[in-house]
Amino acid sequence: MANVLRTEKRAAVVAALVEGNSIRATCRMTGVAKNTVTRLLVELGEACSEFQNETLRGLPCRRLRLEVDEIWGFCYAKAKNVPAEKRGQFGYGDVWTFTAIDAETKLVPCWLVGSRDAGCATEFMQDLAGRLANRVQLTTDGHSMYVSAVEDTFGAGIDYAQLVKIYGSDPEAEKRYSPAVCIGCKPAVVQGDPDPFAISTSYVERSNLTMRMSMRRLTRLTNAFSKKVENLAAAVSLNFMHYNFVRPHRSLRTEKDNRVTPAMAAGIARRPWSIAEIVGLLGSRS
């Protein structure tokens, strides 16, 4: 792959992808063939996953906010259109992306593309726990799978609360595309002694919107959905590499530096990366 395209051309392809363009739109913008763009996405996504898996360790995060409900996507086809012989197989129909975010540095330390069940929730929590240096306060939504996942992973070593949303109905809302109306939230302490003023999922819900805007395959009502779950996982890894290391976060600006990335705020990087440096991860793989 590295010998097919120049670094500048590969950087142009990556820049188009991380700004929310589809594969075909990226091809039109860069003049690169569709299969070449797809191969670059998969190979670079794997490289980004490996790099962040090794680098995002021993994180000094103090507060984490976790929400999963809105990170829904699908692969191959929507669940109702999956052929009978493929139903029940992971990667066909509904696919969920678990994410966590540090409320202070805005760093996304880990993610998991999987099923919305207790098994994947536990796997995700175990991955998260292995990256933290300190006891944290964790907030999730009210899904029951998180209670056992957090208990099995952290035991008593966490301050954990759920934020349960209460939904109502709007009789004037357009039914097909309008979400249910949230009429309130009820915090519930599950473990430890969480700060009641820090029980929130606002940051990760905003991060969810960033994901949908930055990855065309997660845009609602799109025809640019992933045909293979491996491609979705690669796109997610590339997206978070760009989000953590390249893209300055507006809320992290200081008087001395208005270009601060989440990785810089977490003490992992000293300056924003360039997209060409992300592309350079391909050369560092054995």
CA distances (Å), origin 145, targets 62, 73, 102, 122, 268 = 23, 19, 21, 8, 31
**Beta-carbon neighbour count of residue 174 at 10 Å?**
7
Lowest mean pLDDT among 163-167, 199-203, 256-260, 282-286: 282-286
pLDDT band at 115 (very low <50, low <70, confident <90, very high): very high
For the chain, give the percent of residues with pLDDT over 90.
Answer: 73
pLDDT band at 67 (very low <50, low <70, confident <90, very high): very low
What end-to-end distance do the CA atoms of the chain give, in Å?
A: 14
What was the pLDDT predicted at 183? 75
Per-residue pLDDT, averaged over 4-8, amounts to 84
**Cα(132)–Cα(154) distance, rounded to whole angstroms?**
11
**Cα(270)–Cα(266) distance, rounded to whole angstroms?**
10
What was the pLDDT predicted at 223? 83
pLDDT band at 172 (very low <50, low <70, confident <90, very high): low
11-51 residue pLDDT tens: 999 999 999 999 999 999 999 999 999 999 999 999 999 99
Report CA 206 to chain centroid distance, whole Å.
11
**Cα(88)–Cα(82) distance, rounded to whole angstroms?**
9
225-266 residue pLDDT tens: 899 999 999 999 999 999 999 999 999 988 888 899 999 999
Contact 281, 234 (CB under 8 A): no
**Cα(18)–Cα(35) distance, rounded to whole angstroms?**
18
127-155 residue pLDDT tens: 999 999 989 999 999 899 999 999 999 99
Per-residue pLDDT, averaged over 98-105, amounts to 93
Per-residue pLDDT, averaged over 152-178, amounts to 78
Please give the full DSSP string across the chain, using - where no structure is assigned.
Answer: -TTTS-HHHHHHHHHHHHTT--HHHHHHHH---HHHHHHHHHHHHHHHHHHHHHHS-SB---EEEE--TT-EEEESS-GGGS-GGGTTSTTSEEEEEEEEEETTT-----EEEE-SSHHHHHHHHHHHHTTBSS--EEEEES-THHHHHHHHHHTTSSEEEEEEEEEE--TTS-TTTPPPEEEEEEEEEEES---GGG---HHHHHHHHHHHHH-GGGSTT-S--BSSHHHHHHHHHHHHHIIIIIS--GGG--SS-S---HHHHTTS-SSPPPHHHHHGGGGG--
180-202 residue pLDDT tens: 777 778 899 999 999 999 899 99
**Cα(235)–Cα(46) distance, rounded to whole angstroms?**
9
CA distances (Å), origin 38, targets 27, 109, 222, 226, 269 = 10, 25, 18, 11, 28
What was the pLDDT predicted at 75? 94
Domains of the chain, start order: 7-284 (3.30.420.10)
